[in-house]
Structure 1
Amino acid sequence: MRSSRWWLSAATAAVLLLPTACGDDKAGGTWEGGGAPASGPAPAASAPAGPSASPTPTGKPVHIRLLQGDGSTWGVGMPIIAYLSAKVTDAHAFAAAGQVTVDGQPAGGAWYFQRSAIYKGYPLEAHYRTEKYWPAHAKIHLDLAAKGQPAGKGLVFDNSLTLDMNTGAANITKVDGKTKRMTTTSDGKQVFQFPVSLGKASTPTFGGTKVVMEKDKVQRMTGPGYDLKVPWSVRITNSGEFLHSASWNGGNIGQRSTSHGCTNLNTNDAKKFFDFAQVGDVTVYTGTGGPTMPSWDGYGDWNVAWPTWQGGGALKTT
Structure 2
Amino acid sequence: MVCSSHPFARTRIPVLSPTKIHGAVAALSAIALLTACTPSGPDPDATPNDAKSAEAAAEPVFRVGSVSDAQATKSSAQESSSRATDSTESAEPTSTTASTPEQSGEVVETGTETEVEPGERISLSVENAVLSDISITESDHPRIDSDPGVFFDTAGTALEAADQSKKSADETSAEPTDESTEDAKAGSSTPSESASADAAEPTAKKDSAKEKHVVTAPDDAAAWVSAYDLVADSTYDLSATATSADGEEHDFTSTVTVAATDASPMSVRTVLADDQTVGVGAPIVLNFDSTVAKQYRDDVEHRLSVKVTDKDGKKRTVEGSWAWLPDNPQSRLHFRPKEFWPAHSKVSVDAPLKNVPTTDDTVGQNDLTLDFEIGRKQIVKADAKSHRMVVTRDGKEVMDFPASLGAAKSPSYNGTHVVMSKAADYTMTSEQWDYETDVRWAVRIHNNGEFIHAAPWSTGVQGSANVSHGCINLSTARAKQYYDSALYGDPVEITGSNVSLSTSASDISDWVYDWDEWTKLSALD
TM-score using structure 1 length: 0.78
Q: 1 or 2 for the larger relative contact order (CA 8 Å, sep ≥6)?
A: 1
CA contact under 8 A between 2:443 and 2:453: conserved in structure 1? yes
Asked whether 1:235 is paired with 2:444, we answer: yes
C-alpha distance in 1 between matches for 2:270 and 2:515: 23
**How far off is 1:138 after superposition?**
0.2
**How far off is 1:279 after superposition?**
1.2
Asked whether 1:138 is paired with 2:345, we answer: yes
CA contact under 8 A between 2:291 and 2:327: conserved in structure 1? no
1:125 aligned partner: 332
- Aligned amino acid, residue 111 of structure 1: W
Asked whether 1:175 is paired with 2:382, we answer: yes
Alpha-carbon spacing, 1:287–1:146, altered in 2? closer, same or farther (3 Å):
same
C-alpha distance in 2 between matches for 1:240 and 1:310: 28
Size of the aligned set, in residue pairs, is: 265
Higher Rg of the two aligned structures: 2
**How far off is 1:151 after superposition?**
2.0
C-alpha distance in 1 between matches for 2:484 and 2:375: 15
Asked whether 1:114 is paired with 2:325, we answer: yes
C-alpha distance in 2 between matches for 1:286 and 1:57: 52
2:408 aligned partner: 201
**How far off is 1:166 after superposition?**
0.4
**How far off is 1:106 after superposition?**
5.6
C-alpha distance in 1 between matches for 2:376 and 2:496: 26
Equivalent of 1:101 in 280, 289, 307? 307
Equivalent of 1:91 in 297, 301, 307? 297
CA contact under 8 A between 2:392 and 2:399: conserved in structure 1? yes
1:3 aligned partner: none
C-alpha distance in 1 between matches for 2:263 and 2:339: 37
TM-score using structure 2 length: 0.48
CA RMSD of aligned residues (A): 2.1
Q: Give deviations 1:72-129, integer Å, cap 9, x for gaps.
A: 1111111011111221112101111111011045643211223566xxxx82221111
C-alpha distance in 2 between matches for 1:299 and 1:116: 13
Relative to total residues, which structure has the larger helix share, 1 or 2? 2
CA contact under 8 A between 1:62 and 1:155: conserved in structure 2? yes
Alpha-carbon spacing, 1:106–1:52, altered in 2? closer, same or farther (3 Å):
farther
- Aligned amino acid, residue 188 of structure 1: G
C-alpha distance in 1 between matches for 2:326 and 2:264: 19
Matches within 5 A, 1:255-294: 255-294=464-503
In the alignment, structure 2 segments of 5+ residues that lack a partner are 1-139, 143-232, 236-256, 310-314
CA contact under 8 A between 2:378 and 2:491: conserved in structure 1? yes
Identity of aligned pairs, percent? 35
CA contact under 8 A between 2:448 and 2:505: conserved in structure 1? no
Equivalent of 2:509 in 275, 293, 300? 300
CA contact under 8 A between 1:236 and 1:298: conserved in structure 2? no
- Aligned amino acid, residue 290 of structure 2: A
Q: Which moved more, 1:92-101 or 1:223-232?
A: 223-232
Give the secondary-structure state (helix, strand or coil) at the position aligned to 1:95: helix
Give the secondary-structure state (helix, strand or coil) at the position aligned to 1:94: helix
C-alpha distance in 2 between matches for 1:63 and 1:57: 16
In the alignment, structure 1 segments of 5+ residues that lack a partner are 1-47
**How far off is 1:258 after superposition?**
1.0
Give the secondary-structure state (helix, strand or coil) at the position aligned to 2:516: helix
C-alpha distance in 1 between matches for 2:321 and 2:336: 6
C-alpha distance in 1 between matches for 2:369 and 2:507: 24
2:454 aligned partner: 245
CA contact under 8 A between 1:207 and 1:293: conserved in structure 2? no
**How far off is 1:294 after superposition?**
3.1
CA contact under 8 A between 1:208 and 1:284: conserved in structure 2? yes
Alpha-carbon spacing, 1:269–1:263, altered in 2? closer, same or farther (3 Å):
same
Equivalent of 1:52 in 234, 245, 261? 234
Q: Give deviations 1:9-45, integer Å, cap 9, x for gaps.
A: xxxxxxxxxxxxxxxxxxxxxxxxxxxxxxxxxxxxx
Alpha-carbon spacing, 1:181–1:150, altered in 2? closer, same or farther (3 Å):
same
